[in-house]
A and B are shown apart, each in its own frame.
Chain A
Amino acid sequence: MTTYFIRRFLLIIPTFIGVTILVFTLTRLVPGGPIERMLNEAALAGAEGTTSMSSDYAGSGGSTLSDEQLEVLRKYYGFDKPIIVSYGQWLSRVIVLDLGTSTRYTEPVWDIIRSRLPISLFYGVTTLILTYGICIPLGIVKAIKHKTAFDNVSSALVFLGYAIPSYVVAIGLLTTFAAHFEWFPLSGFVSDDFDQRSTLGKVSDVFHHATLPLIAYVAGSFAFTTMLMKNSLMDNLAADYVRTAIAKGLHFRSAIFRHALRNSLIPIATSFGGNITLILTGSFLIEKIFNIDGFGLLGFESLVERDYPVVMGILVISSLLFVIGNILSDICVAIVDPRVKFGADGSNQ
């Protein structure tokens, strides 16, 4: 078991290198990198400048930077070396936790990411608590009351959440409750007068803004987890050991909570790791729709603006989280299910 986890942790390294090298190469191969973007901006500024000033400068036109200056810029961003060399340099800096400097904000990437993390963390943790807090009890009740009115009605709701992607849910909520009824604010994390509010006012302000995005977030994983809980509990209720427990005179209720429930939590534990990633990275679609200044929106904006150091920094963090999440769910399964022995033959099935 221990050797299995050690091996899993060691396997992070090739996976991590594979992912980063792939995206790094991609960002290098595409034209229109940060230098081209700056040139464009400089040219635009130059053009505006010439129209307002006398027409003497109009003739010079074109690039406002000389070739030597361009060369210096390329060297500064490492564009003058072959991909594999500059990837090596980038990697050696990442190992000492230096993610580089943003080309857009000229700030260290880590500082930018760190400033956005609390917002995404807030949404991620709340979503996780809500998801498991609602889904597990709901799944249990649905399994016990299978095919009753309660089950059918809640199934319809679950089904809706299952069929519709969360960004469509988000847009639907935004249109109905923010734009039409004006019960909730349209966007943002807090109001403009946030700093002047009392502590209670601050909390209520955050949740007032967070209600709709949170519903959209929860809708994404709600249906899956609830049905997983319900189905696995029903599988266990139909199993022979529950029959035995009831046959020897155990109450139905204690048969569920003492025997069936524990076993049916195993699949839920498997899905836990995947949700860890969601905690920190969030969903950039939902963040974009509600204009929440979190991790996801940062990734989206830096992609649009070709701010590749930030893109790579986000990739580093999210891919690490993804791999660690996978390992965490293995650990969860091992805790919940004492039968599981990883590393033995056929365990990959």
Chain B
Amino acid sequence: MLDPQTVKQWKRFRSIKRGYWSAIVLLVLLGISMIAELLVNNRALIVSYEGKWHFPTYAGVIPGSVFGLDYDYETNYRDLQQKFKEESEGNWVLMPLVPYNAFENDLRTDKFPPYPPSLESKHYLGTDSTGRDIVARLLYGFRIAMGFALVLLVCSYAAGILVGCAMGYWGGIFDLLFQRLIEIWNTVPFLYVIMIVASVVVPSFWTLVTVMVIFGWTTMTWNMRTSTYKEKAREYVNAARALGAGNSRVIGIHILPNTISVIVTFIPFSIASGVASLTALDYLGFGLPPPTPSWGELLSQGTDHLESGWIVISVLVAIVSVLLMVTYIGEAIREAFDPKKFTYYE
């Protein structure tokens, strides 16, 4: 069963409408991005050809010859849909909501990209400067950014909790040593380091995570150190020790659960900063390599093509609303865990 404290915190969180609804919207968005292939993709959802149904979304490449086309590379389902419609022989294609994927350059003979938003061509937010659909880039970019922030969070928190607990619990030389190390570490301008690394190896998702964890573990470590230090001085720890509990039991069963509120309240802000720093790196061109869909890359395209306002506006709206929602959630969680009651004098 949940303990009453947690139930109370959950109720308090739910009562903060702004944060609660932001959490729901964000979870729905995450859910949508998980099944993005079904909503925004250049592969058809269902192809009915000569009475047989095909589901190309998660299948391998289906060559055009399967559907009676004269080529062996992957079927162009948008053209196929057009063709079936013209033939009207009972074959049909069901395309996703946005029939483009994030990597596809929709090039035309009469115009140069970027194309403005248009309902007719189903580029609902237009295309970027190489003709890739912006909805697709945004949605897949959102999935990558959130995934990145979550992985970063788990890794750096794991390191931070481990080291921070040890520093606060044992103190002494170990604590002093790590204090100096953290001071040095914090002085290193870590964006510079990432840029140096990124200029050598083309950073993959995991190299970026590794570098960011190497330079991002200090914040959580510092917080955990302080709160472990505080908890350690309290009576219940002495009581547990007096009853014969060992170090690992005192830390794992007694101290950690009492510091959980520190950890939880920091989570949303870490996610926001993870997304923000990945976007900044991508904007500068030191993040994930192209053609990975990314908000930062769209931002830099937008600022390079200010005359095509739809690029920069759609990505700005996306960043601002996601970061706002994450921060709303963070605010609500913080208030749920630590409601500040003030008395005023008028």
Contact = CB atoms under 8 A, between A and B. Distances in A.
A226 B327 CA distance: 17
A318 interface: yes
A115 B170 CA distance: 49
Interface in A6-57: 11, 14-15, 18-19, 22-23, 26-27, 30-32
A172 B316 contact: yes
B214 to A, nearest CB: 11
B192 A299 contact: yes
A323 interface: yes
Contacts of B280: 165, 167, 285
A318 B320 CA distance: 30
A255 B199 CA distance: 57
A149 B282 CA distance: 39
Interface residues of B, number: 48
B200 A30 contact: yes
B344 A304 contact: no
A165 B316 CA distance: 11
A30 B199 contact: yes
Nearest to A231: B340
B58 interface: no
Contacts of B226: 349
Given A175-B302, A238-B343, A243-B345, A15 B187 contact: yes
Interface string A232-255: 001101100011001000001001
A234 B344 CA distance: 8
A299 B226 CA distance: 34
Interface stretch (A63-71, A86-94, A155-163): A155-163
A334 to B, nearest CB: 19
Contacts of A289: 303
B79 interface: no
Interface stretch (B99-107, B116-124, B246-254, B306-314): B306-314
B272 A163 contact: yes
A206 interface: no
A306 B324 CA distance: 37
A235 B187 CA distance: 32
B29 interface: no
Contacts of A19: 184, 187-188
A165 B344 contact: no
Nearest to B191: A284
Contact of B183 (A15, A163, A255): A15
Contacts of B303: 171, 174-175, 289
A179 B306 contact: yes
B342 A252 contact: no
A228 to B, nearest CB: 14
Secondary structure at the A interface, as helix, strand, loop or mixed, is helix
Contacts of A340: none
B306 A175 contact: yes
A349 B227 CA distance: 10
B189 A252 contact: no
Contact of B345 (A167, A172, A242, A348): A242
Contacts of A303: 192, 195-196, 199
Nearest to B175: A348
Given A163-B326, A349-B229, A171 B302 contact: yes
A23 B188 contact: yes
Contacts of A179: 306-307, 309
Interface in A312-349: 315, 318-319, 322-323, 348-349
Contact of B344 (A172, A237, A285, A288): A237
Interface centre among B230, B323, B328, B346 (most CB of A within 10 A): B323
Interface string A129-171: 0000000000000000010000000000001101111011001
Nearest to A323: B187
Nearest to A348: B179
B335 to A, nearest CB: 12
B319 interface: yes
Interface in B179-232: 179-180, 183-184, 186-189, 191-193, 195-197, 199-200, 226, 229-230
A180 interface: yes
Interface centre among B179, B327, B345 (most CB of A within 10 A): B345
Interface of A: 11, 14-15, 18-19, 22-23, 26-27, 30-32, 146, 159-160, 162-165, 167-168, 171-172, 174-175, 179-180, 186, 231, 234-235, 237-238, 242-243, 246, 252, 255, 284-285, 288-289, 299-300, 303-304, 306, 311, 315, 318-319, 322-323, 348-349
Q: Which 8 pairs across A and B sit closest by C-beta, in order of nearness?
A: A163-B327, A18-B184, A179-B306, A30-B200, A165-B276, A319-B187, A19-B187, A163-B323
19 contacts: A14-B184, A15-B180, A22-B188, A23-B192, A163-B326, A168-B316, A171-B316, A172-B316, A174-B306, A180-B309, A186-B306, A234-B342, A238-B342, A285-B284, A300-B284, A311-B192, A319-B187, A322-B186, A349-B229
